[in-house]
Structure 1
Amino acid sequence: MKGSVYRKDGKWAYRHDLAPDPLTGKRRQSAKGGYATRKEADKALRDSITAAEKGRHVRASRRTVGAFLDEWHAARKASVRPTTWAKYGHLIRTSVNPIIGDTPLQELTPVRLNLLYAHLLDKGRVRPRGNQTAGLAPSTVATVHRMLRGALADAVTWDYVSRNAAEDARPPRVGRRRPTVWTPEQLRAFLAHIRGDRLYALYLLVVTTGMRRGEVTGLRREDVDLDSATVVPAVPRVVVEGRAVESETKTESGQRPRALDPVTLAALRAHITTWEANRTDFGHTNELLFCWPDGTQIHPDSVTDWFQRHARAAGLPVIRLHDGRHSYATAALKAGVHPKIVSERLGHADVAFTLKTYSHVIAGMDAAAASIVADVIFGPAETPDEDPVHESVHEPEGSPLSGEGEG
């Protein structure tokens, strides 16, 4: 394809031929101006020709980032989880559009995205609460980056832009946080402290099965099989923009039945008995097992607040409710439960993720594993009476060390 760059209104522009109109056969051209240097115009010309030759010609447009993201968000509703869709909408409204929403989509660059990420890290929080900083957490900004990378990939597919600017942007590095966990002794102390609490069965489920907060707060009567002593959390309740909404399990393995130990089963059976009596007394039809006596739903954030309040009252380190799940996993692995079983009970996608998440626990089990395997191979270790090395040395007759040399 032929093309050229030229001066226009004190700046640089390009134009090049396109394939003739397929209907009329008339000549077609693509042109764009406003470049500060000839070098920029040359590069844009080459990119445009390359895109056109691939059959992906991008027409010049003043469509803004904000308008595109609103369109993209609406188009993605049917293809992502409801909670993911709601999260994307929140990030678009609060973290992206107010800052770069007016930027023409075709002028979005990696540098501008890097500046956006820096701004969000510095003062991106809309309404800081308590001791919160003005900036967003690196993990949240990384989520913004992932969303934009996916959105701009669709923009390329839709022929809105010729390149994905997010591919060359640099999101913040997110370090892996080692979970804060309670020891088995601390778990026992906590459970002893809350034994009379009306949500005793809920907390038991967290520390004996590793269920997520959304899974236990979304548990329904039909999810529990008392006869087979199993539970299947089918419809988690998560918090999106402050509201509790129904979601989907994070992985397919999260929908498999999880066996209940006798103590947890007994507590859950007693809770269900009280729950059924409340339904009769108040006439409510709420299927959620963990609700107020009159059927009013309990917000998941309230469960977290109560959990931490109980921890303080029990004189224990204050951890997140989610760290109760980590405490279960750590105790299970240290007790020798196979990582595959722990992975399935936690609802992880695969055992590799479990091993990576709890690598600090696995490393501490290495010495014990070495001793166990050695006992299997060599038998129980015994302390010899004499040095086995010296006992095994037999000098041949006539050697200088035998005392029976020549002569």
Structure 2
Amino acid sequence: MRTALYIPGYNHSIHFINIILYIPEFYNYRAFLCPKLRRYKMKISKRKDGRFGTQIRTPDGKYKTIYGKTSKECRQKAYDLVAQLEDGSYVKSDKTLFKTWVESWKDGYLIGVKDSTKRSYTGHLRAHILPEFGEKQIQSIEQSDIQKFCTKLYKEKQLSPKTVRNIHGTLHRCLCDAITAKLIRVNPATGIIMPKKIKPKITPLEESDLHAFYSAANGDPYGPVFSFLILTGMRINELAGLTMDRVNLDNQTMIIDRQLISINPVKFSTPKHDRARTVSLPDSAIKIIKTERANQARFKLLTGDANFNTHGFVFCQNDGSPIGHRSVYEHIKIIAAKIGVPALRVHDLRHTYAVLSLQAGVDIKTVQESLGHHTAAFTLDQYGFVTDGMRSASAEKLDKYVNSYVK
């Protein structure tokens, strides 16, 4: 039953239509009035179980059924679906498992990605992501599931914030490409709250430890490698991939434009940030290179192997093969234990180079370029504690200089 209320000067025909638009019982009239809804022939009806439902035809010719606890909820869901159909973002129901999509993703969606990055993706998937989501249908993965996953990595597995962010980045990239493949409509890995990023502590060798380090490294097979890292600030992968055709002994420079990412078979990749750089070599580094070349010539003569070190590595094993991470790690731990710095890492030698350079008065831009950092601001942020000390020392020097003229 409808009650009419006359209001002078009011367009009652419009008022009646508005009543129809917002009363569920008259929803079919609303569908008739809306061209898009009329096109999809949507009709909401009440089911025996008390829910409301409607069907909308999708581009594949099938009908998608939508349910809601109320007519209003069902209607809103129908509007959302129609919007997706109109703007082309609709994704049909699919029961593809996440692990099935991962295999397709690795085979067809990582074109142009560096091999080192692919290895990182594969490691994250195998160790963490697939055990959690592998057996789930990709369309059933929700944002709350990924939030719980990242929280568990940090709190239960006690992974560092950086590692959690890297794993999440792999998952986000994988799901982002699933949108392109029309498997999902939105990326559930978007908007995840990550653990607070903690700036890693820089632990270079102290000046008091340097003499002990060189003494302990003297005679070690990898002693020249460690010395070269301190003198140049190279990353270990860059040093392992350094070949003689990248070294100019006359100008005392070397070009760092690649890194070694695989020993067997030998594979190279561009350096971090894809930034090639030219680095000046001090006399001590030149001496190390010449000594290594002489040793390699001697080993080649002893082995009689014509294919000895065919790639021309500056540093290699006694059989001519490239140096490996595991061996380098094992030897630096032996040296670290001898000098009483058990926490020393290979990468700390790179930090040692940066600190020594800044303390020697090398400007921050030159240090940044030698290290291959993306910006000088990053280098300054990493080693700001050194420049702080230098500012204090310079202030003291200035004070003494000025006071020398004050009588």
TM beyond 0.5: yes
- SS of the residue 1:144 aligns to: helix
Change in 2 beyond 3 A, CA 1:182/1:339: same
TM-score by length of 2: 0.77
**Structure 1 vs Structure 2: percent identity of aligned residues?**
25
Distance 1:275 1:6 in 2: 85
Q: Match of 1:264, as an amino acid?
A: A
- SS of the residue 1:344 aligns to: helix
Change in 2 beyond 3 A, CA 1:170/1:267: same
Distance 1:244 1:46 in 2: 57
Q: Check the 8 A contact 1:339/1:354 in 2, yes or no.
A: yes
Note the aligned Cα RMSD (angstroms): 3.3
Q: Deviations over 1:192-228 (max 9, x none)?
A: 3323333332111211111111111222232322222
Q: Deviations over 1:359-407 (max 9, x none)?
A: 33333333345567x78xxx8345745xxxxxxxxxxxxxxxxxxxxxx
Determine if the alignment matches structure 1 residue 204 to structure 2 residue 231: no
Identify the match of residue 92 of structure 2 among 49, 55, 59: 59
1:119-138 maps to which residues of 2 (within 5 A)? 119-121=152-154, 135-138=158-161
Match of 2:365 in 1: 340
Q: Deviations over 1:62-112 (max 9, x none)?
A: 122222222222223322111111221222223112211222222211100
Determine if the alignment matches structure 1 residue 249 to structure 2 residue 288: no
Q: Check the 8 A contact 1:200/1:267 in 2, yes or no.
A: no
Distance 1:258 1:353 in 2: 19
Match of 2:134 in 1: 101
Distance 1:318 1:30 in 2: 63
Distance 1:38 1:360 in 2: 64
- SS of the residue 2:64 aligns to: strand
Match of 2:238 in 1: 215
Change in 2 beyond 3 A, CA 1:184/1:239: farther
Match of 1:171 in 2: 194
Q: Deviations over 1:212-270 (max 9, x none)?
A: 11111222232322222222344423479x999643311343x2221111112112211
Match of 2:294 in 1: 273
Distance 1:107 1:175 in 2: 33
Determine if the alignment matches structure 1 residue 305 to structure 2 residue 327: no
- SS of the residue 1:165 aligns to: coil
Q: Match of 1:146, as an amino acid?
A: G
1:19-38 maps to which residues of 2 (within 5 A)? 31-32=64-65
- SS of the residue 1:365 aligns to: helix
1:5-404 maps to which residues of 2 (within 5 A)? 15-16=55-56, 31-32=64-65, 44-121=77-154, 135-238=158-261, 246-253=268-275, 255-282=276-303, 283=305, 284-286=307-309, 287=311, 288-316=313-341, 318-368=343-393, 380-382=402-404, 384=406
Structure 1 runs not aligned, ≥5 long: 22-26, 124-133, 386-407
Change in 2 beyond 3 A, CA 1:68/1:13: farther
Larger deviation, residues 288-297 vs 331-340: 288-297
Distance 1:7 1:79 in 2: 53
Distance 1:140 1:39 in 2: 44
Change in 2 beyond 3 A, CA 1:362/1:99: same
Distance 2:105 2:95 in 1: 16
Larger deviation, residues 50-59 vs 38-47: 38-47
Distance 1:46 1:160 in 2: 21
Q: Deviations over 1:120-142 (max 9, x none)?
A: 3456xxxxxxxxxx554432221
Distance 1:7 1:34 in 2: 10
Match of 1:128 in 2: none
Q: Check the 8 A contact 1:225/1:231 in 2, yes or no.
A: yes
Distance 1:4 1:364 in 2: 75
Distance 1:150 1:298 in 2: 33
Q: Match of 2:113, as an amino acid?
A: V
Distance 1:69 1:59 in 2: 19
Aligned residue pairs, count: 363
Change in 2 beyond 3 A, CA 1:252/1:117: closer
Q: Check the 8 A contact 2:228/2:288 in 1, yes or no.
A: no
Q: Match of 1:104, as an amino acid?
A: Q
Larger deviation, residues 355-364 vs 343-352: 355-364
Q: Check the 8 A contact 1:30/1:59 in 2, yes or no.
A: no
Distance 1:101 1:87 in 2: 18
Structure 2 runs not aligned, ≥5 long: 1-35
Q: Check the 8 A contact 2:66/2:77 in 1, yes or no.
A: no
- SS of the residue 2:131 aligns to: helix
Match of 2:21 in 1: none
Q: Residue 190 of structure 1: CA displacement?
A: 1.1
Q: Check the 8 A contact 2:138/2:184 in 1, yes or no.
A: yes
